[in-house]
Amino acid sequence: MKNQYVIKTFEDIKNQHPDQKEYLQAVYEVLSTLEPVVEANEKIEKYSILERIIEPERQIIFRVPWVDDKGKVRVNRGYRVQFNSAIGPYKGGLRFHPTVNLSIIKFLGFEQIFKNSLTGLPMGGGKGGSDFDPKGKSDDEIMRFCQSFMTELSKHIGPNTDVPAGDIGVGGREIGYLFGQYKRLQNEFTGVLTGKGLSFGGSLARTEATGYGLCYITEEMLKVMKNDSFKNKKVIISGSGNVALYAAEKVTQLGGTVIAMSDSSGYIYDEKGIDVQLMKELKEVKRQRISVYADIVKTASFHDDFRSIWTIPCQIALPCATQNELDEESAKTLIKNGVIAVAEGANMPSTPEAVEAFQKAKVLFAPAKAANAGGVAVSGLEMCQNSQRFSWTFQDVDEKLKDIMINIFHNAYDNAEKYGYKDNLVAGANIAGFLKVCDAMLSQGITY
């Protein structure tokens, strides 16, 4: 970084939160690409837009007591970070995972501001969750936890204030329990959460949206920047949760072959291509570990180190599990093995060193805030349908999703070129997302 204002802003936040490493990583990645924008508009420094945009508007941390099946009282910690409401109500998922802490929720909430802006829909940025581990818990335990979590969260959210959704560990089941408790407490049936079941206000295509959207933007990137497509490509997808499963489904529909997928216990490899329907059955319905797939399919093998998935040669890599899962060494191996495109389904899955390696090697690279924006985009469409008390068809929503993803690609691609970062979609997405929020913040004055 060269701009003194940008450098000072980052140094100050680093000194304030030296322990929040994921949050600092996300802030650095954005600020380091905004220098030409800051230099083109003196109001950004005069009105302290950078200092304001990196500071959440509100952070809520709360106790979540619940009772397990043995009658023992357990306590977890809940979070909701309401980061920025300049362009709409706070919007962003809830993550239930033992690694959740304030740094992770802040990094996710910060990224969400720009991602939501890129969708073109009126949504601010927020994120929340808990260090609760849903793995191995019974349905009743999950329900009691969700009810306790919502008992506090309900005081801070609302359909025009803050509309949470799912993320790691929070799928349709959890959203159902959370919604039921909100309705009971507020005595109001309203679109306060997205990712709801279809029988109570959910949108068709929301389940598929992040994975499908990831493939739509990757297909556009391949077409525009390489005159190529998914057809006949070998594809590796890490993870086997919501994003990974529907990315695998769409890759297969677009003519690619998914040869490896993973979970935190390891990865499976099948040169002939993974049977996505079977994988969905095992993961979504039976909630099995991924090794079970290799027990059933004889051409598949199981390997117990999930990080080694990137050592398999492929042309397209879609990291869809979690943050910092793809490091520099993995990036260099992928490059050596001939990868032509990487698109991030998970949030910040590539370390900064990995991103640099891809960019140096001229591998096409679509960053998370553009590439996985399909999920929140369809959440925005779910909010529209709830307000209208109407439901659109799967095809309607899928077409709108595709248009949004193609627009995001071009917005990032064009802004990269305009600000001197040709072909750098990381910079382009940051700039495009930032410009709209910055304009709204400047227009609204200094809000106290």
Catalytic residues: 127
DSSP characters over 362-412: T-EEE-HHHHTTHHHHHHHHHHHHHHHT----HHHHHHHHHHHHHHHHHHH
9 versus 112: smaller Cβ distance to ligand NDP: 112
Which residue sits closest to ligand NDP, CB atoms considered?
241
User: From the list 263, 270, 382, 398, which residue makes contact with ligand NDP (rule: CB under 6 A)?
Assistant: 263
194 binding ligand NDP? (CB under 6 A): no
Which is nearest to 127 in space by CA: 154, 100, 152, 87?
100
User: From the list 82, 203, 347, 415, which residue makes contact with ligand NDP (rule: CB under 6 A)?
Assistant: 347
Which residues, including other chains, have CB under 8 Å from residue 73's CB and lie 6 or more apart?
Answer: 65, 66, 67
264 binding ligand NDP? (CB under 6 A): yes
CA-to-CA separations, 153 to 5, 63, 94, 161, 178, in angstroms, rounded: 37, 11, 11, 12, 10
CB of 12 to ligand NDP, least distance (A): 27
CB of 213 to ligand NDP, least distance (A): 9
**C-alpha–C-alpha distance, residues 182 and 209, integer Å:** 25
What x-and-dash track marks residues 195-234 binding ligand NDP by CB under 6 A?
A: ---------------x------------------------
9 versus 252: smaller Cβ distance to ligand NDP: 252
103 versus 186: smaller Cβ distance to ligand NDP: 103
241 binding ligand NDP? (CB under 6 A): yes
User: From the list 130, 240, 385, 411, which residue makes contact with ligand NDP (rule: CB under 6 A)?
Assistant: 240
Give phi and psi for 159, each to the nearest 5: -65, -20
User: From the list 126, 239, 266, 367, which residue makes contact with ligand NDP (rule: CB under 6 A)?
Assistant: 239
Which is nearest to 425 in space by CA: 401, 408, 437?
408
What's the first-to-final CA gap in the chain, in angstroms? 31
118 versus 441: smaller Cβ distance to ligand NDP: 118
375 binding ligand NDP? (CB under 6 A): yes
Question: Would you call 151 exposed, middle or buried from its count of C-beta atoms within 10 A (0-12, 13-18, 19+)?
Answer: middle
Size of the site for ligand NDP (CB under 6 A): 24
6 versus 244: smaller Cβ distance to ligand NDP: 244
Where in 355-374 is the site for ligand NDP (CB under 6 A)?
A: 372
191 binding ligand NDP? (CB under 6 A): no
| Residues 42, 48, 53: CA angle, nearest 5 degrees | 115
319 binding ligand NDP? (CB under 6 A): no
Q: Residue 245: which H helix or E strand, with range?
A: helix 242-253
321 binding ligand NDP? (CB under 6 A): yes
306 binding ligand NDP? (CB under 6 A): yes
343 binding ligand NDP? (CB under 6 A): no
234 versus 369: smaller Cβ distance to ligand NDP: 369
CB of 279 to ligand NDP, least distance (A): 11
Which is nearest to 244 in space by CA: 212, 290, 275, 291?
212
CB of 373 to ligand NDP, least distance (A): 7
User: From the list 242, 252, 257, 311, which residue makes contact with ligand NDP (rule: CB under 6 A)?
Assistant: 242
Helix 102-118 / helix 425-443 crossing angle, nearest 10 deg: 90
CA-to-CA separations, 377 to 212, 306, 407, in angstroms, rounded: 12, 30, 12
166 binding ligand NDP? (CB under 6 A): yes
Single out the segment in contact with ligand NDP by CB under 6 A; choices: 22-30, 55-63, 259-267, 402-410: 259-267
Residue linked to tokens 């690619």:
256
Give phi and psi for 233, each to the nearest 5: -95, 145
**C-alpha–C-alpha distance, residues 242 and 273, integer Å:** 19
433 binding ligand NDP? (CB under 6 A): no
Provide the binding-site residues for ligand NDP, judged by CB under 6 A: 166-169, 171, 210, 239-244, 263-265, 306, 320-322, 345-347, 372, 375
